[in-house]
């Protein structure tokens, strides 16, 4: 299965190669999705994992494998990242905040499914980058034996998220929020970043409002506005790559 080969075996292969070469630090992007859904309260790093997808399961397996590799010469850190928001070279339009900003700009309407009652943790991409930099620069004694940290700015219900984005963009455009109450949302979870704050002193700084405004301004400048491009959507991009791979097997190499 590609998920296992790429996400699990690929990660372990890279980590083992780093360890063989004497590289002491290894910072890994895991996911808060390892905790699954229906969590009462906030999930810390000791909360039992309950992955609901093959991708999330592969991240649990990576976390476990990396921690087993830790010793006095190899210091792996795994960040269980909240849903990442913000602009990047590969702008992800299939993530909640990014999707809402896209719809605010192109449609002037924010569509909220299932009443918007579900909770999700969020973190800006710049805070994610800073956390990974810290993981490879902090004193080794703070991450001895390997460390797993939740990486989250805060938790928000989706409906609240939509209204926050509508509010911060009110001077840019008139935006409506449309809510569908025809079904219930079972996928809901929250996480806490207290361990990261306590151990490494790291607190994500970039708010939902700052992220949304920054992204909107970039769209106004004509950046990343080819929103139908499959490159910005994980599933569409993977399907396109698989189709290209199938075609190349038939016609042979292009170059």
pLDDT of 233 strictly over 70: no
Q: Tell me: the pLDDT tens digits for 70-84?
A: 999 999 999 999 999
Q: What is the pLDDT of residue 204?
A: 98
- Three-state DSSP class for 253? coil
Q: How many residues does the chain have?
A: 255
Q: What is the pLDDT of residue 253?
A: 74
Q: What is the pLDDT of residue 199?
A: 97
CATH class for the region spanning 2-243: alpha beta
pLDDT of 24 strictly over 80: yes
Q: What is the pLDDT of residue 133?
A: 98
Distance, CA of 127 to CA of 200 (rounded, Å): 14
pLDDT of 136 strictly over 80: yes
Pairing verdict, β 154-157 and 119-124: antiparallel
Longest distance between any two alpha carbons in the chain, whole Å = 57
Backbone phi and psi for residue 39, each to the nearest 5 degrees, phi listed first: -85, 125
Average pLDDT estimate for 21-44:
92
Looking at 9-162, which runs of residues are DSSP E strands?
25-31, 75-81, 83-85, 109-112, 119-124, 147-151, 154-157
| Beta carbons of 4 and 56 less than 8 angstroms apart | no
Q: What is the pLDDT of residue 82?
A: 97
Looking at per-residue pLDDT, the higher value among 187 and 203 belongs to: 203
pLDDT of 237 strictly over 90: no
Q: Tell me: the pLDDT tens digits for 152-200?
A: 999 999 999 999 999 999 999 999 999 999 887 778 999 999 999 999 9
């Amino acid at each position: 299965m590609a998920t296992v080969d790429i996400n699990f075996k690929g990660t372990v292969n890279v980590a083992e190669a780093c360890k063989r070469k004497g590289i002491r630090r290894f910072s890994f992007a895991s996911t808060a999705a390892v905790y699954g859904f229906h969590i009462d309260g906030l999930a810390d790093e000791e909360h039992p994992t309950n992955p609901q997808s093959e991708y999330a399961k592969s991240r649990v397996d990576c976390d476990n494998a990396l921690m087993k590799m830790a010793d006095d010469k190899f210091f792996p850190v795994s960040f269980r990242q909240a849903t990442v928001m913000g602009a990047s070279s590969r702008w992800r339009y299939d993530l909640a905040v990014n999707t809402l900003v896209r719809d605010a700009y192109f449609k002037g309407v924010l569509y909220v499914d299932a009443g918007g009652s579900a909770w999700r943790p969020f973190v800006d991409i710049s805070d994610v980058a800073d956390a990974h930099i810290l993981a490879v620069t902090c004193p080794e004694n703070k991450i001895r034996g390997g460390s797993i940290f939740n990486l989250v700015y805060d938790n928000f219900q989706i409906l609240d998220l939509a209204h926050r984005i509508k509010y911060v963009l009110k001077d840019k455009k008139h935006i409506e929020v449309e809510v569908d109450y025809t079904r219930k949302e079972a996928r809901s979870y929250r996480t806490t970043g207290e361990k990261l704050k306590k151990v490494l002193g790291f607190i994500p700084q970039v708010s939902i409002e700052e992220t949304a405004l920054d992204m909107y301004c970039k769209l106004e400048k004509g950046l990343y506005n080819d929103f139908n491009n499959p490159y910005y959507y994980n599933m569409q991009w993977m399907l396109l790559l698989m189709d290209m791979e199938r075609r190349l097997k038939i016609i042979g190499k292009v170059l």
